[in-house]
Each structure stands twice: as C-alpha cells, then as structure tokens.
C-alpha cells in the first residue's frame, strides 16, 4: 500500500526523530513530505513508533493512502523521479 505522509512538528528535536523514522520507511519528496510503500506490518510498526514521538496537542502528522489506480494519475512539475519510484541505495 502506498502512503503520502506529511508532518508539521514545532519542536526541532521531535521533528528530527520523526523525520528519521520516516526516512527508514520511505523517500523524502519534500521537506516534510514522504512517500512510503507499506504493508500492514510496516504500517503498524511505523504508526506505533510515531505515536510515541508525536505530541497530539501541537503536532500534525497525516497519512494519506494512495490507491494503485491513482498512481498513474499523479504527476510532478519538475525534473524529479516518478511518483513512488523505487530507488536503489548502496551502502
């Protein structure tokens, strides 16, 4: 399942921790926006980790489920990769 995850976190330290968690599960496409491919297990694990970090009174953390039929209809107006394009990482 594909998700677009966005956040608005006021606290710098908390924002960094949340950003690090999201980078472990997906690709940053904007400063506070990630595209993630998550199965049920990964989604549950990510949600649990983020629930420990987020302050529900001041922060905003949103998950948007993107259906497979919507991906071909998505586009970008710049020279970046395709929406939800898989990238190879070498360590």
| Binding-site residue positions | 8
Give how far Cα 76 sits from Cα of 15, 21, 81, Å.
26, 25, 9
CB 6 within 8 A of CB 42: no
Return the axis-axis angle of helices 12-25 and 40-53, rounded to nearest 10°. Answer: 170
Show binding-site residues for Mg(2+). Answer: 8
């Amino acid at each position: 399942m594909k998700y677009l995850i966005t956040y608005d976190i006021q606290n710098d330290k908390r924002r960094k921790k949340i950003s690090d968690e999201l980078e472990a599960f997906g690709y940053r496409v904007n400063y506070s926006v990630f595209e993630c491919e998550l199965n049920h297990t990964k989604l549950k694990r990510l949600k649990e980790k983020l629930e420990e970090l987020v302050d529900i009174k001041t922060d905003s953390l949103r998950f948007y489920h993107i259906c497979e039929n919507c991906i071909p209809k998505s586009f970008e107006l710049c020279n970046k990769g395709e929406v939800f394009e898989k990238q190879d990482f070498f360590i």
